[in-house]
Chains A and B, each alone.
Chain A
């Protein structure tokens, strides 16, 4: 189950993911992102209430971050829990996409 809280203020979009980002819910996240894409200059993805992330979820995160970077938009993933960071780190994602994007 995934709930999304989102807002746009001064061209900065915020997407807060609540619950589980997995094979069942990635489409929800991706479509939320797509609906935001043209209206924002930068995006903040808030992980504070994310309690599970599977490989498909990681895949969707990579896709979203790549698209933003390709469009020269700023992106930050904030409030990452230790467990979730461990998963991302094991996959070498901070290194691949930029350490500065990921904040605890």
Chain B
């Protein structure tokens, strides 16, 4: 832009258009400087002020600049002339607000019709003879991309001026106001746009939260606990618990590359394929293979991958069958020995290659055993010293809280991890699921 603060500061003495000096011809350069001044101040206001306040600042700046008694700024919400709102209202004398309120509305209505600047007291008048006798007014439509977005009105007492504005000043003012108007309108439009995106994100968040297991399936002989938290409104972590047709527990945990909206879309795709595949007690290695084969054509060209672990637990025999598509191996704490086992199994991530083979593994669980499924957001969470939380701290916590039920263990893991990272911003989605054999 062409704002030059130094130049503006040098001209502080004659910032405002002084109508008492109307007869003294003002040089073009001076007018130009004043215009720059005004643009600078208003731009500053738009950048640094928020919401409704910005309109009040602008009406005050323009009111002072033109030495007007009243200045008002109208906007049409959502670009609809039906929804007219007076966003800013500046007045040098309080009682003028009330006195001019109706006439100001009337002028605004006239501008919507005319779509060009109107001068009350010169070629136009209001319905109120008293107002016409006492005031001059300049009304300007704010037109952006051919649409009238609002109007700006300036009011002055008649007796103070020989004339309202000279043509020269009028054109300068008109140019300045138009620039400002575009700025304000764009600013408001951006805000509306942002609000819309925010709202859509909130809805997406609600949808995704509802996709998480809300009511945990109940199985005799085990307790289950889950905790999940996205770094953004929506995330790419996936956790699902299903009861299969043969009354087994299917537990799947996954992590989509990246985070936020793109990751969440792939998470939902993965969920859909998983749910349709896993329902009928199909072996975990074949479930992963099927998910890969359905998603591979979509994921591979974009270089996106999903890690996925799927376990199928048989409550009567306490046998856990599992296969792993490159997800962090879940951690098992054996109650009898106090030893840990990692549920590793060979297999490439989802989206890695066409028709891959996954290894089917199994582990016999016993009373008191705990299985912790987690996403790398838990392991890789960092504190201020850039230390990762790490698998050893997870193991220590599992041991420490091993006498509690699954829900308490998942809560403790989550809380202790947040304590570790203190006030560091959560960088990645964190998901934890705990299964404990009673």
Contact = CB atoms under 8 A, between A and B. Distances in A.
B388 to A, nearest CB: 9
Contact of A96 (B255, B352, B428): B352
B257 interface: yes
Contact of A59 (B305, B326, B353): B305
Contact of A92 (B329, B349, B376, B428): B349
A58 B376 CA distance: 14
Contacts of A96: 348, 352-353
A55 interface: yes
Nearest to B353: A96
B273 interface: no
B404 to A, nearest CB: 29
A63 to B, nearest CB: 4
A95 interface: yes
14 contacts: A54-B380, A55-B255, A55-B257, A55-B305, A59-B257, A59-B303, A59-B305, A62-B303, A66-B303, A90-B329, A91-B305, A92-B348, A92-B352, A96-B353
Interface of A: 23, 54-56, 58-60, 62-63, 66, 90-92, 95-96
The number of chain B residues touching the other chain, given as a range, is 20 to 34
B326 A23 contact: no
Interface string B344-378: 00111100110000000000000000000000100
B307 interface: yes
B328 interface: yes
A58 B256 CA distance: 12
B interface secondary structure, majority: loop
Contacts of B352: 92, 96
Given A55-B258, A59-B257, A95 B348 contact: yes
Given A56-B257, A59-B258, A92 B303 contact: no
Residue from the set A55, A58, A59, A90 with the largest chain B CB neighbour count within 10 Å: A55
Contacts of A62: 303, 305
A96 B428 CA distance: 26
A3 B5 CA distance: 36
A64 to B, nearest CB: 9
Contacts of A92: 326, 346-349, 352
Given A23-B258, A55-B376, A96-B348, A90 B303 contact: no
A23 B346 contact: no
B257 A58 contact: yes
A56 B258 contact: yes
Interface string B249-284: 000000101110000000000000000000000000
A42 B348 CA distance: 26
Contacts of B204: none
